[in-house]
Each structure stands twice: as structure tokens, then as C-alpha cells.
Amino acid sequence: MSEKKMMHVLPLEAYTSQAWFDREQEMIFSKTWAYAGFAEDISEPGQYISVQAGLNNIFIVMGRDRRLRAFHNICRHRGTQLIRAVGKAQKALTCPYHDWTYDLEGNLISVPEEQSEFKDLDKSCLGLKKASVDMWRGMLFVHPNPDAGSIMEWFGEVEPHLGPHNIEELVEYPDARVEYEIKANWKIVVENYIDVYHLAHLHSGTLAMYDHAKAEYGFFGPHYAFWEPLSEDYAKDIEKNAPTPLVLPLDQLGASVPMLFPGIGLAESESNWATFIITPLGPQLSRVENRVRLKNASEWEFQKQQWRSASFWSKSIKGKYSPEAAEHDDDPMASGDFTAEDIYACEQQQKSLKSPYFEVGASAQNGESPVRQHQQVVLDFVEGRYL
């Protein structure tokens, strides 16, 4: 492989520049499917959720006919955002500015002082602008384009390479739902997620239960798929002392950790199925949302599982540095939490980008090849070559 191919594809500005960030919002996040939530988040007529899809705020609402529809969150009068992030309308959606009102199917049904202020107004032409909504693996997605087609056209190539989990048999535990911010560009967070080279190093203690040398990974379209088996010692141990009910058969144990473009991570392991949704907030700031699904259990059983899991992992997992070597009590590198390790690494990398001495060195031929491929996908989108 040539030296040119072994270097990173994107320039430094891609991780620090507002102009790059704005271009990505326009060319990537405004033109791809955006995760909005789970199917159970909208379960009755009038219930809705909204999501920022690049330059577009879009909401999904269940109509009186129990169909899900997606609309741009823009009142057709003066453009005010119509609804808040999550809620339940009664029978209609009313703009807070001038009380223009729409039914759950997006039709304009009421305009205050219509006869005196808006002569000959044709309300039938002023319904909410439509977007696309679709469901995939129990998750809801929206697309700004009302004619986006099936979401399977977007995820179809990677679908056969994802974990074999039966998601409909798993349940979400609200206490495991968290959101946090990472002081790093969204691409640094994605690149860390798909960097195979770092697994045996940054996470030498926290992810030692997997056999990284046997990992299988690659791109399918713009999406990345990854699977690795359990380490031999851990596989023997977990068959006898599993801390939580396993969600996979014994012959399929391991972790499938795909990153679906542009920032939809799935953590599909032997004990749970989780989402890792990355949302860019600025050139150097990202938000991550995690939601976790486990085998169904009573609240008492779940608490027992948590206790067993904590006891099991305390014997199996260690931070990169020992507590004695930690610089302070909450040192993420001594915490035994691989997420804390990742956040630390991402933020430290972002900090270094400010230095006039920063430069990218050689890139690992195999372990960092997903990083280079992801950067090429980003570049193709930004330059308008992908779609």
C-alpha cells in the first residue's frame, strides 16, 4: 500500500472549521436518514417526537388512523417551529405564534380571523410540508425528502452483516438511557468507534473479554460493520457465570458493533443491544445518546442482574492505569469504564488539533483502514459525489 493511501484523507479544517461543519450539515445530515427514536416512543394518536436532521427540524406524529407521518416542523404562516421536541397533542397541532392549527394528518384546519385578515385563503394548499418516515430494526428514522423511498435502500447492503439479535424480544430499561456531550468533532467520535487498532491498547483492560485479533470488519456502502468473538477464557467463564441473561445463543456469542452512516452506532453484544447516536453540535462538540435493551425481566430481577453484573465485571475488568497510578480519583483511564476511556481519548485528540505543531503520522494498514474509508465517504458526500 502506498504512503499516500496510508495517510488520513481529510484536512485538519474538517475537524475544526465552522465552514466544514456547515457544509456537512447541508450535504450529509440534510440528505441522509436521521434516527428519531424507537417505535414505542409513538404509540397512540396525537403523540409526536421531533429530530434535527441537518438543517431541518422534522417531527413524526401518529394520526387518528394510527399511521405515522413525518412533517417539517415549520408553520406555513411565518415559519415558526410548530411543536416542541416530544409531546402529545390532543386532536390538532397549533402554532404558538398566531394559532394557525393543523390536524394530525398535516392539513391546515383553522386560521384565526380568517375572513377579516385572509380573504380567499385556500387552506388546502397550506398543509404542513411532508418528510419521510420509516422503521428499521425497531427504530424510527426520518428523511427531509418526502420521496426518499424505503429505508432498506439505505441500510440494505449492511443488513446481512449485523448482529443476529431478535430486537423485538428485548425491552428497554429507562434507567440505562443517558445523554452526554463530548468536546470533539463528530468525526473524531465516529473514527474512535471504528478504529480497530485502539481496541487492544486504549481498552487493554476494559475490553479484554473479546478476541480483537479475530475481528471481522469492513464497509458496505457508506456503512461500517464489525464483529469479534469472545476471548477463549471469557467464553468459558460466561457460559458458567453469565452476569445477565444472554441475548444470543452460546454459539453466536461476541460483539457486533457497526457504525451506520453518518453517526448511528449499534452495540450488539452477548448481553444487550444498545444504540450510540452521535449528533454534531458544533465543529468541536458532539452529543451522544445511549439506549439499552435487555432480555425482559421484572424490576426485582433486573436489579439482581445489575448487582451480579457489577460483581462479575469488578473481577474481570480493569482500567488502563491502576488506581495508584491515577492522577485523581475520577481519572477516566483508571475507571474501568471503556466509554470514559473513549471520551478522554477523543477530547485529548481534539485539543491537540489547536497546536501549530500538530500533524497526522502514519496510519495503521489494517486497524485504521476503517478510519480512512470513513473519511473518504465524508469527503465524497461533502463534494457532492456520493448522492
> What's 76's DSSP letter?
T
Question: Which residues neighbour 37 within 8 Å (Cβ) at sequence distance 6 or greater?
Answer: 49, 51, 60, 139, 140
Question: Do residues 203 and 318 lie in contact, with contact meaning Cβ atoms separated by under 8 Å?
Answer: no
- 90 residue type, one letter: Q
Angle between helices 369-382 and 186-194 (to 10 degrees): 140
CB-count exposure of residue 124 (10 Å: 0-12, 13-18, 19+): exposed
* CA angle (278 as vertex; 273, 255 as ends), nearest 5: 30
Domains and CATH numbers, the chain: 34-150 (2.102.10.10), 161-382 (3.90.380.10)
pLDDT of 303 reads: 54
Return all residues near 30 (Cβ < 8 A) that are at least 6 apart: 53, 54, 55, 56, 144
Place of cell 423485538: 168
What is the pLDDT confidence band of residue 106, given thresholds at 50, 70 and 90? very high
pLDDT at 300: 46
How is 328-380 classified by DSSP, letter by letter? STT-GGGSS-HHHHHHHHHHHHHHHTTSTT-------TTTTHHHHHHHHHHHH
Q: Across the beta sheet with 108-110, what order do the strands follow?
A: 92-94, 101-103, 108-110
Q: pLDDT (tens digit, 9 = 90+) per residue, 206-243? A: 888 899 999 999 999 999 999 999 888 887 777 666 65
Q: State the pLDDT confidence band at 271, using cuts at 50, 70 and 90.
A: confident
Give the predicted TM-score (pTM) of the model: 0.90
Query: Cis omega (within 30 of 0) on the bond before 174?
Result: no
* Distances 272 to 24, 244, 266, 331 between C-alpha atoms, Å: 32, 9, 11, 27
Instruction: Identify which of 10, 127, 26, 136 has the alpha carbon closest to the alpha carbon of residue 75.
Output: 127
Task: Summarize the confidence of residues 273-294 as an average pLDDT.
Answer: 96
Q: Tell me: the pLDDT tens digits for 59-75?
A: 999 999 999 999 999 99
End-to-end CA distance of the chain: 28
User: Residue 365: is its pLDDT beyond 70?
Assistant: yes
Q: pLDDT tier at 349 (50, 70, 90 boundaries)?
A: very high
The top-scoring range by mean pLDDT among 62-76, 159-173, 334-348 is: 62-76
What DSSP letter does each residue of 16-29 carry, written as one string?
T-HHHHHHHIIIII
Return the H-helix or E-strand segment holding 178: strand 178-182
Read off the pLDDT of residues 176-206 as tens digits, 9 standing for 90 and up: 789 999 999 999 999 999 999 999 999 988 8
Q: Is it the case that residue 308 has pLDDT exceeding 80? A: no
For the beta sheet containing 56-62, the strands, ordered from the edge strand earlier in sequence to the opposite edge, are 34-38, 139-143, 130-136, 68-72, 56-62, 47-53, 86-88
On the question of pLDDT at 136 being above 60, the answer is yes
Pick from 17, 25, 34: nearest CA to 277 = 34
SS3 label, residue 38: strand
Tell me the mean pLDDT in the region 315-343: 69
Cβ(294)–Cβ(188) under 8 Å? no
The residue with cell 505543531 is: 357
pLDDT value of position 335: 63
Grid coordinates standing for 371?
478510519
